[in-house]
Amino acid sequence: VQLQASGGGLVQTGGSLMLSCAVSGTIFRVDDMGWYRQFPGKQRELVATLSSDGKTNYGDSVKGRFTISRDNIKNTVYLQMNSLKFEDTAVYYCNADLVPLGLWTVRNYWGQGTLVTVSS
């Protein structure tokens, strides 16, 4: 099982980016999916999570600007980021709780991280 994130890059202040993260492998079920970010020298912090039944949770600093969504057929989670600020510059990681086929227990997986740079 792997999580493959994409969509990071360089954007100007006020601009938008969409991140994607696809789960690959043989999976029985995907539960919560989400995005976290990490600033240099800091711990990862919550950006947004989305449960399998549609409940969302956002970090305070991104509320009203970022939107998380998912495609349960494609096992993909998205993060639409609007009104980007310089302080959103970070490495963004996707995360998922899922049940691999054959293991029958929930495990937590991380993607490889994608860099988002917002120029001031």
Written as six digits, the tokens of 88 are: 């959103």
pLDDT at 95: 98
Written as six digits, the tokens of 73 are: 């057929």
Q: Rounded to whole angstroms, what are the CA distances from 69 to 7, 19, 38, 57?
A: 15, 10, 20, 11
| The pLDDT of residue 26 is above 90 | yes
- The answer to whether 38 and 112 are in contact (CB under 8 A) is no
| The pLDDT of residue 120 is above 90 | no
Compute, in degrees rounded to 10, the torsion defined by CA atoms 1, 38, 58, 111.
Answer: -10
Query: Residue 60 corresponds to which amino acid?
Result: D
What's the rounded mean pLDDT across residues 100-107? 92
- Residue 103 pLDDT class (50, 70, 90 cuts): confident
